Amino acid sequence: MNPEKVVFGFFIVLALTLNFGFFVGELDNPDHHHVFELFAVVVVNLIATILKLGDRSQMGAVLLATSLVAILQLIAATLVWTAAVYITETGLTPAVTASIVSLSGGAMLANVVSVILLILETVMLRR
């Protein structure tokens, strides 16, 4: 068993599961989506992206692309949250919360693609 592959797979799957945990709940209810959970999702996705930087294969390029898409979506969600709470001071209205959760849903879709690619790569590996 390769410890590097275990850590790599761990962070990819953890990124998906944390994102799913943030995404689940009523779309426009801020009580169902916690800021610290979004923070954890961003941090774990950043770690997963950094781990993908070393792979120079075509599959590695696609994995990195999915990770960059997820990071872009999550940073946009974080910016919307920050702008609503601290800049415009409108707070987490149902519309703002729906935008944040929708952006995290896009990141979750990118994470799903990443996990599927990881599974395909593992299945195609020859001993």
In sequence order, what are the residues at sequence separation of 6 or more whose Cβ sits closer than 8 angstroms to the Cβ of residue 14? 44, 48
**pLDDT above 80 for 41:** yes
Cα distances (angstroms) measured from residue 120 to each of 38, 80, 81, 83, 112? 28, 34, 35, 39, 12
Please give the tally of structural domains in the chain. 1
In sequence order, what are the residues at sequence separation of 6 or more whose Cβ sits closer than 8 angstroms to the Cβ of residue 37? 18, 21, 22
Interatomic CA distance for residues 104 and 85, integer angstroms? 18
Per-residue pLDDT at 127: 58
56: confidence class by pLDDT, cuts 50, 70, 90 = confident
The residue-averaged pLDDT of 34-43 equals 96
Give the predicted TM-score (pTM) of the model: 0.91
Per-residue pLDDT at 2: 84
Interatomic CA distance for residues 25 and 63, integer angstroms? 28
Q: Which domain holds residue 62?
A: 3-124
In sequence order, what are the residues at sequence separation of 6 or more whose Cβ sits closer than 8 angstroms to the Cβ of residue 52? 8, 60, 63, 64, 67
Question: According to DSSP H, which parts of 1-127 are helical?
Answer: 3-23, 35-52, 58-82, 94-124
Per-residue pLDDT at 14: 97
Per-residue pLDDT at 13: 96
pLDDT digits (tens, 9 = 90+) for 101-122: 999 999 999 999 999 999 998 8
